[in-house]
A = this chain, B = another copy of it.
Amino acid sequence: MADRLNVCIIGSGNWATTIARNVGNNALTSQFLEPTVLMYVYEEYIEGRKLTEIINTTHINVKYMPDYVLPTNVVALDDVVTTARDADILIFAIPPTFVSNCCKTLLGKVKPLAHAVSLIKGFDRGDDGQILLISHIIMRQLKIPCSVLVGCNLAHEISNNNFCEGTVGCRDQKYMRILHDLFKSSTFRVVVTDDADCVEICSTLRNIIAFGAGVADGMEMNENTKGGIIRRGMLEILQFVDVFYPGSRMATFFESCGLSDLVTSCYANRNRRLAETFVKTGRPLSELEYVLVPGHEPLGPVTAELVNIMLKKKGLEDKFPLFTTIYRICAGAYPLARLVETLRFAREDIYHPNHIFQL
């Protein structure tokens, strides 16, 4: 039998801790994996004790997930290089803005044949200022392939053993089964596809749409308006993938990373709530982001801005009227009422020209 693979997790927030429970349990029973899973924890002191020490003795991440117990084979470390150096699979679950520095620290210190998996949603700027998917930043900086796991925008739903779905976008055929077995549980259904860019983009762009849905909720618009935002949003996601990451497959949009994450985000995620509060209170976004989600950056407005930069550069703002409208509402450049105007007048033929007749 081949050597078993070492797995580490870089990050210890809510989502990292959630997935550490699945990964820890699966490592214990898998024939492909070493049982011990190292987890890099940004060291903090909680009532005078180190967080790593608390996790390693109580097996509870008291800071980010106090109600759940981790498997005892998940071991917290306060040094990222020590955590990562022997790992064959590196799972990244840190805020997007920390990725670049983390990779700089790790460059040349991870196994050359290691495989990364990003759980991080969003775009960020690479070293050269170019806007990139997080997995691309990791690949460029660490020089190893980086798959993605997305889905289930509600970490507590996995932890509570409610039914959830996730999609892995895998960049190496031989990791498909391994990554499936690494993340799944009896209630967390994982599907693996090789259309990795599309998986990551869907899960990133949906935060823009969720923000738009929250604006509609804040304005107490009707159900059909929200349905229209979801539909138009899906069309613009399709078109965005087609323009910026061509070659993706239609099937991927029907995975959980596409259709179901988009819908659940528009009814239940924090971007939606942020937007609703933004509309109802009239307070600036910068204030609300801090109040509503301390420790979590709501990705809708940030993503809307980065996407707008990408669109502007190609002269495509008009071809993505919903993304553009939501960005401008966030930026204070459009009144809220523009949202419905956009739905009313947006052309239908963006993705399938000639297929649809419209005046």
Count of interface residues, chain A, beta-carbon cutoff 8 Å: 57
Q: Mark A219-230, 1 if CB is under 8 A from B, else 0.
A: 001111111101
Interface residues, chain A, with chain B CB atoms under 8 Å away: 152, 154, 157, 160, 162-165, 170, 176-177, 180-181, 186-187, 189, 191-194, 221-228, 230-231, 234-235, 238, 249-251, 254-256, 259-261, 263-264, 267-268, 340, 343-344, 348, 351-352, 355-359
Residues of B within 8 A of A170 (CB): 357
- On chain B, the residues within 8 Å of A359 by CB distance are 177, 180-181
Contacts of A250 in B (CB 8 A): 250, 352
The complex places the Cα of A238 from the Cα of B202 at a distance, in Å, of: 20
**A222 adjacent to B157 (CB under 8 Å):** yes
* Contact residue among B238, B256, B267, B268 (Cβ-Cβ distance under 8 Å from A231): B256
Contact of A251 among B228, B230, B259, B352 (CB under 8 A): B352
A193 / chain B contacts, CB cutoff of 8 Å = 355-357
Q: Which residues of B lie under 8 Å from residue A226 when comparing CB positions?
A: 263-264
Query: Who on chain B is nearest to A259 by CB?
Result: B231
Contact residues in B for A358 (Cβ distance below 8 Å) = 180, 191-192
Q: A167: nearest residue on chain B (CB-CB)? A: B356
Whether A267 touches B223, Cβ cut-off 8 Å, given contacts A191-B348, A259-B231, A357-B193, is yes
Beyond A177-B359, A357-B193, is A231–B251 a contact (Cβ under 8 Å)? no
Contacting residues, chain B, for A163 (C-beta < 8 A): 221-222, 224-225, 228, 340, 343-344
Q: Are A235 and B254 neighbours in the complex by a CB distance under 8 Å? A: yes
Residues of B within 8 A of A231 (CB): 165, 254-256, 259-260, 263
Given A165-B228, A193-B357, A230-B260, CB of A154 within 8 Å of CB of B223: yes
Q: Which residue of B lies closest to A358 (CB)?
A: B191
Q: How far in angstroms is the closest Cβ of chain B from A26?
A: 13
- How far is A358 from B251 in the complex, measured between Cα atoms in Å? 14
Kindly state the separation between the CA atoms of A152 and B231 in the bound complex, as whole angstroms. Answer: 13
